[in-house]
Amino acid sequence: MTRCLLAFLVIGMLLVGSALCLGEEPKLRATLRGDLLSTPEGINCVAFSPDGKTLASAGGRVETIRLWDVKSGKVKATLTGRVLGAGVCSVAFSADGKTLASGIDRMVKLWDVKTGDVRVTLKGADAGVIFVAFSPDGKLLASLSSSSSGGTPFSPDAKSTEQTIKIWDAKTRLVKANLKGSVKSIGLMHSLAFSPDGKLLATEGEDKTVKLWDVKSGKVASALKGHTDPPRSLAFSPDGKLLAAGSVRQAGKEEDVTIKVWDVKTGKEKATLVGHPDTVMSVAFSPNGKLLASGSGNWRERAGSIKVWDVKTGEEKATLKGHTDAVTCVAFSPDGRMLASASRDGTIKLWDIPTAKKGRE
């Protein structure tokens, strides 16, 4: 039996409503839970290994990272550090899958995935490291640090001082570039993203723009505008032609809470996706670039949602329900057949994504 969903797409300034009938929808495969993952702070981040066999997760208020066997749903390793009172905000696998980077306090740690040991600790961040990302070729590592100057730390009302982005040489462990003074953000899910060719680094900020930095020169190449509230989450399409950004919900103001999709080359807005009632905390393209997943949530009202969008048409294909608190992160598996979602409810959910059958568009 097919089910009809009402999807809304805003293109430019035009609002269009359309009924979308679906035969197949993503189905929940498994819910992963762990002792420390069930803390009130929940889970901050998840990331698939390049081969798709391992899922890394981190959260809570202790320095603990879990490596899950995707097939069995069981914990295969627990990486534990010595930093207490501060959760790991971001994790990222290297291109070869042998190294896992994590941001914690004022440092970036590089873990040996096989042994679970810390290979090296990169120090020198001006404040707490809240996001890390490897370049697609694994040669560079970017870290974003921020310190709270008001509001509740690591929550949407937290305000920050000027942030610092460091770009490290992954081999020599030396800082190649220090981008400072142009990025100001709020909340936990600050993000940055390398373009697939590694030439650009996207960041979001309180000025309601997405900046594209030239990695080689360390200068801003362009700025993407359109959000009326600060963007919170970023993702490049696999071919690097598009960039998606989800915005924050600011209480007491005209709310944006949309996802905007830009043409990276021209800087023109291609679409605005409307449907989330709260801050869009994470966005992710499927490996084939045909789908966009988004996770949202409200920290105070304990509500969260996941949506899957058709990138070409901008239509909402499905809404995935099951989390009981804000959805902090979404990530597609490398083969695109699975979507992982993390939440402040202390769980990770794995969703099977239907793939097109032969002869069907």
CATH code of the domain covering residue 326: 2.130.10.10
Has residue 296 been placed in a domain? yes
Q: How many helices (H) and strands (E) does the chain have?
A: 0, 32
Structure-token pair, residue 303: 């509500």
The residue among 236, 232, 213, 111 whose CA lies nearest residue 167 is 213
47 phi and psi, to 5 degrees? -155, 135
pLDDT for position 59: 81
- Structural domain contains residue 200: no
What is the pLDDT, as a whole number, of residue 180? 65
212's tokens = 């594209």
What pLDDT does residue 361 have? 38
- Please report the pLDDT score of residue 84 as a whole number: 52
Residue 313, in any domain of the structure: yes
236 in a domain, yes or no?
no
State the DSSP string of 3-19: EEEEEEEEETTEEEEEE
Which residues in the chain show pLDDT less than 70?
1-23, 34-41, 60-62, 82-86, 124-127, 147-162, 180-190, 250-254, 299-302, 356-361
Q: What phi and psi, each to the nearest 5 degrees, are found at residue 38? A: -90, 10
Q: Is residue 327 part of a domain?
A: yes
Those residues with Cβ within 8 angstroms of residue 319's Cβ, 6 or more apart along the chain or in another chain: 5, 275, 305, 306, 307, 308
Task: State which residues form the domain around 326.
Answer: 1-28+257-355
Q: Is residue 270 part of a domain?
A: yes
CA nearest 261: which of 220, 215, 315, 207? 315
**Total number of domains constituting the chain:** 1
Answer yes or no: is 102 within a domain. no
Can you tell me the distance from the alpha carbon of 29 to that of 33, in angstroms, rounded to the nearest whole number?
A: 14
165: in domain: no
At residue 164, the 3 state secondary structure works out as strand
- For the range 84-87, what are the long-range contacts, defined as Cβ-Cβ under 8 Å and sequence gap of 24 or more? 85/61, 86/61, 86/128, 87/41, 87/44, 87/58, 87/59, 87/60, 87/61, 87/62, 87/63, 87/154
Are 360 and 24 within 8 A, CB to CB? no
Instruction: Name the residue with tokens 């960039």.
Output: 243
Q: Specify the residue for token string 């009924």.
A: 19
Residue 194: what residue type?
F
